[in-house]
Amino acid sequence: MGTVAEQLVKRLREKGVRYAFGVPSGSWLYYMEAMRKEGLDFVLVSNEASGGFMADVCARLTGIPAVCYGTVGPGATNLSTGVVGALLDRSPMIALTSEPPEKMIGRTVQMAIDQQAMFRPLTKSSTRLAIERVDQIVDQAMRIATAEVPGPVHIGLPEDIGALEAISSSPAGRLIPPARPAAADEASLAAMEKIFSSARRPVLAVGISAGRSKAGAAIARIAEKHRVPVVLTPMAKGIISEDHPWYAGVLFHALSDKVAETHRQADLVVSVGYDPVEFNFEDWMPKVPLLHLDTTEADIDRSLYRHAYDVIGDIPTSLERLEALPAIDSAWDGQALAERTRKMFEQLAPPPGSFGPRAALAILREILPQDGIMACDVGAHTHLIGQTWQTPAPGLQLMTNGCSSMGFGVPAAIAAKLCRPDKKVACVTGDGSFLMMAGEMAVARRRKLPIVFVVFADQKLELIRLKQERKGFPTGATLLHDEDCPTANYVFGVPVVRADSAEQYREALRKAFAAEGPVIVEARIDASEYDSLILRKHK
């Protein structure tokens, strides 16, 4: 049978796992050697949190969980940031950490904390590996991680068992996709049809769960047949394209007050896979009836929204019923909606001769192929990307909004390039987030990954500055470095190209995408235009 480490790795490979990300420890060496033999690629990262973000993105792009690892104590606490990201962004993941041997549980041990207690609220399940149940534990972890709603599972690895012989095994088998949820009950579907058919101004609010259910085509057809506008949450970008005639924008990002001009007029909200982990219903939804199509009940204040109807079951099946209905008597003015969206995008276009975030994003979108992948970090630029970045299909724009952890963008881009080596990959990050994950440049260089890292260098935590100003507070503690700080030529061996104008930036991007390895493009943008584009009131 082999050792516990060998059996664990073999089982993971049988389930289709390709990558593990982490920083090794002594007890992890047995697992590393088993990975080498089995062809499971262990990627050494600079910070365990990055390993968690990378595993998260691998699952988003491949549908198969990846592994992340941290050693006992500080390795595990670092890893927890990436793990909670997977929990709140709904990505399946297997998080492994070394733990003290069974005989030392409850004792005072160097570096050790109760990692089971720590990971329990951050995961769907947390357990410890046992030599007689390796296959069972791995199989169960994979089932739990991938079942709706997907998320991370933590397995603690007692430090003394990796080299021991595994006691039992069970027949091999690849990861079986979770069973498609059962259709909603007939009474719920009939009520849905009646409520939807009587509406004059329904709006479709589409969230990340709709992406997992591959519902984009059905949503587009329903919007066209019934003449209904569609609004998206940020992580649902790509489910319906921005050039669709009934596309109405992204909730809660730049110029969201313009988007609100549409959903404020609704007499019914049909939420499709809407997960409030991105934004609560109460933060934007008018006090009208709600039809909630999902695999879980709507998380909404039912004392405020008394007419909330849950249609719990397979999302595509529920959408088929809406699509089959006779076209409703829609009161929406399609031309007016299209004109509103056009004007919003016009306002998001960069002013001639400018070099702010709008110009930097527009030029990047022009140069990055339409099927290229862009990963973005958290900050003021995220709010702009959510509304302005043209995303023709799911999985081509990667962001964190359920967790919204700074530092996500750089490791997300690295994972995207590992999983999709045939695609052009770019990362857009602020200088604040880049400071957190600059060490991962060593990973990109070591792996020779041709990724373009665009750093919006505005010297401040712009989103915090904006919030301070909107509250009337003096701006402070947001300055990252002064304007005289020199530009580095390299960051851990990755070349840096500085751009102070749109012309320099366009040329830098062209050269960067033609390079054989990673390149950092430092875009010295004018951040003042954020002030008029984000954090507007829209309720």
**Start-to-end Cα distance in the chain:** 62
**Domain membership flag for residue 444:** yes
Integer Rg of the chain from CA: 24
**539 or 478, which is more confident?**
478
pLDDT score, position 195: 98
pLDDT score, position 480: 66
pLDDT score, position 466: 74
Q: Give the range among 299-308, 361-370, 460-469 with minimum mean pLDDT.
A: 460-469
Side-chain half-sphere of 263: how many Cα atoms within 13 Å? 33
| Domain edge (last residue) among 158, 176, 204 | 158
Q: Give the range among 140-144, 366-370, 448-452, 526-530 with minimum mean pLDDT.
A: 526-530
**Domain membership flag for residue 260:** yes
Same domain membership, residue 355 and residue 319: no
pLDDT score, position 487: 74
Alpha helices (H) along 163-207: 186-198
Same domain membership, residue 124 and residue 53: yes
**Domain membership flag for residue 413:** yes
Query: Quick check: 471 pLDDT over 90?
Result: no
- Token pair in block for residue 399: 């962001």
**Domain membership flag for residue 191:** yes
- Average confidence (pLDDT) over 167-194: 85
pLDDT score, position 538: 37
Same domain membership, residue 198 and residue 331: yes
Same domain membership, residue 335 and residue 203: yes
pLDDT score, position 528: 83
Q: Are 240 and 230 in contact, with CB atoms under 8 Å apart?
A: yes
pLDDT score, position 243: 94
Range of the domain at 220: 186-340
Same domain membership, residue 294 and residue 225: yes
Classify burial at 158, counting beta carbons within 10 Å of its beta carbon; exposed 0-12, middle 13-18, buried 19 or more. buried
Same domain membership, residue 329 and residue 303: yes
| HEC letters along 278-304 | CCCHHHCCCCCCEEEEECCCCCCCCCC
Same domain membership, residue 200 and residue 143: no
| Domain edge (last residue) among 340, 358, 383 | 340
pLDDT score, position 537: 44
pLDDT score, position 467: 77
- Average confidence (pLDDT) over 65-82: 97
Rounded Cα distance between 396 and 423, Å, is 10
Same domain membership, residue 131 and residue 10: yes
Strand partners, 230: 204, 247
- Average confidence (pLDDT) over 329-357: 95
Query: Quick check: 352 pLDDT over 60?
Result: yes
Kindly report the CATH number assigned to the domain that includes residue 114.
3.40.50.970
Q: Give the range among 201-215, 317-331, 456-470 with minimum mean pLDDT.
A: 456-470
**DSSP label of 531:** G
- Nearest Cα to Cα of residue 162 among 3, 22, 37, 2: 3
**Domain membership flag for residue 21:** yes
Q: What is the pLDDT of residues 272-309, one digit of tens each?
A: 999 999 999 999 999 999 999 999 999 999 999 999 99
Kindly report the CATH number assigned to the domain that includes residue 266.
3.40.50.1220
Same domain membership, residue 134 and residue 27: yes
- Residue 200 neighbours by CB under 8 Å, 6+ apart: 267, 328, 329, 330, 331
**Domain membership flag for residue 226:** yes
pLDDT score, position 172: 66
Same domain membership, residue 278 and residue 153: no
Report residue 334's pLDDT band, with 50, 70 and 90 as the boundaries: very high
Same domain membership, residue 501 and residue 373: yes
**Domain membership flag for residue 288:** yes
Q: Which pTM value belongs to this model?
A: 0.93
Q: What is the mean pLDDT of the chain?
A: 93
Query: Quick check: 464 pLDDT over 60?
Result: yes
| HEC letters along 318-363 | HHHHHHHCCCCCCCCCHHHHHHHHHHHHHHHCCCCCCCCHHHHHHH
Number of domains composing the chain: 3
pLDDT score, position 539: 36
Same domain membership, residue 458 and residue 439: yes
Q: Give the range among 24-38, 62-76, 143-157, 485-499 with minimum mean pLDDT.
A: 485-499
| Domain edge (last residue) among 340, 364, 395 | 340
Query: DSSP secondary structure string, 81-146?
Result: HHHHHHHHHT--EEEEEEE--GGGTTS--TT---HHHHHGGGSSEEEE--TT-HHHHHHHHHHHHH
**Domain membership flag for residue 171:** no
* Element containing residue 376 per DSSP (H, E): strand 373-376
- Token pair in block for residue 58: 């691998």
Q: What is the pLDDT of residues 401-440, one digit of tens each?
A: 999 999 999 999 999 999 999 999 999 999 889 999 999 9
